[in-house]
Homo-oligomer: A and B are copies of this chain.
Amino acid sequence: MSLFVQKYGGTSVGSVERIEAVADKIAGFKAQGHDLVVAVSAMSGETNRLIGLAQEISSAPTPREMDVLVSTGEQVTIALLCIALHKRGIKARSYTGQQVQILTDSAHMKARIKHIDVDKIRADLSEDTVVVVAGFQGVDEDGNITTLGRGGSDTTGVALAAALKADECQIYTDVDGVYTTDPRVVPEARRLDKITFEEMLEMAGQGSKVLQIRSVEFAGKYQVPLRVLSSFKDGPGTLITLEEESGSMEQVVVSGIAFNRDEAKVTVVGVPDTPGAAAKLLAPIGAANIEVDVIVQNVSADGTTDLTFTVHNNDVEKARSILEGVAIELGAKSIKTDPKVAKVSIVGVGMRSHAGVASTMFNALAKENINIQMITTSEIKIAVIIEERYLELAVRALHTAFGLDDDKISEE
């Protein structure tokens, strides 16, 4: 008999029928004798409906009041799920973030959890009661309602699992696990039985949007075993674990291929190779809230160097106009932009101890005549920037080159 913290997302509780299905699922776990704490999101569409009401009134609604407003979405779900559980003869009790309580800082709309009081939850569990907690929300020290930001229900689930030392935190979503790459691009993509936290972070950061990245960091930090499963069909999902526990994975060099289509490239040509030049160029970009992804600067040859970075392709013109003044000031030659690039990354803890991963990657791309424009690496990731139109081709080529296709290997 285990203690599971389960999190059900917006589509999983998107209608009365879906809430009933979740109640059935929970009833099944209770029949097996497990203890359950369940964190839920707002019914899909509800948070957007509430935000829409506020925006009809004001283009800049107050963050404190936005939290009061949107936190009602999860409160509706906890009540409905408890009613559905009671109908099935299962003891259940709902809690808002304020009631648990989930204490956060006071950063409205992006609060961070400081402490969770588990006394009430433990008492309920000892009486065989399913505890249903509103995800995404908490309360600050002055009693103000706070929210954790979009996707924060995942974080609520992981934080509850950490505070309760649960056996597993199960994130129910609309996909049945983490895949080697996006199955819409590579039909041979396989569901991974296991992946490490580090790999998951690289995959999530690269655009595999299965889990909110903060919740993965949180789970890694507190060593909470995290499992991603589908609430629509049965299956083991993907377990996200510490590297040490996942011996079987060591055989695999590359676990997955991540990609991001929406990148744009900005190059400042002929930057004088002096200390602080890169900082002077990037500081105003950051100040304008433009997120910079990859940054590459090569070694200097003639006393000048080229600095290249990527931004979201919506931001490329804004970035260029910001840079123009700074670039002239620094004595740079010109600014070039290319809105039509994409990033492809191979991710895997296995590559740490394997030479030759990079050359396998580059060879596979060369064989398809795909030119590599930029390269960056981390311990468990190699990312390249290529022309956007080659994205699908590159992902498929790499998926095959690293033996990830469905019929080739099984990672266990």
Binding site for B on A (CB under 8 A): 16, 19-20, 50, 53-54, 56-58, 61-62, 64-66, 68-69, 71-72, 75-76, 78-80, 82-84, 86-87, 93-94, 96, 98-99, 143-145
Contact = CB atoms under 8 A, between A and B. Distances in A.
Contacts of A72: 72, 75-76
Contacts of A79: 54, 65-66, 68-69
A366 B335 CA distance: 98
Contact of A65 (B16, B66, B94, B99): B94
B76 A20 contact: no
A83 B54 contact: yes
Contact of A69 (B50, B62, B80, B93): B80
Given A58-B84, A65-B80, 14 more contacts: A16-B53, A54-B83, A57-B80, A57-B87, A61-B83, A64-B93, A65-B79, A66-B79, A68-B75, A68-B79, A71-B75, A75-B75, A98-B98, A99-B144
A57 B99 contact: no
Given A57-B20, A57-B87, A98-B98, A76 B80 contact: no
A217 to B, nearest CB: 30
B94 A80 contact: no
17 contacts: A16-B56, A19-B57, A54-B79, A58-B83, A58-B86, A58-B87, A64-B93, A65-B82, A65-B83, A66-B79, A68-B75, A69-B76, A69-B79, A69-B83, A72-B72, A99-B143, A99-B145
Interface of A is mostly: helix
Contacts of A66: 79, 83
Given A54-B80, A83-B54, A94 B75 contact: no
Contacts of A19: 57
A199 to B, nearest CB: 39
A83 B79 CA distance: 26
A82 B65 CA distance: 7
Which among A16, A64, A75, A79 has the highest number of chain B CB atoms within 10 Å? A79
Contacts of A68: 75, 78-79, 82, 94, 96
A86 B99 contact: no
A76 B49 CA distance: 11
Given A68-B79, A79-B65, A83-B62, A16 B57 contact: yes
Top-5 shortest CB links A-B: A69-B79, A72-B72, A68-B79, A65-B79, A61-B83
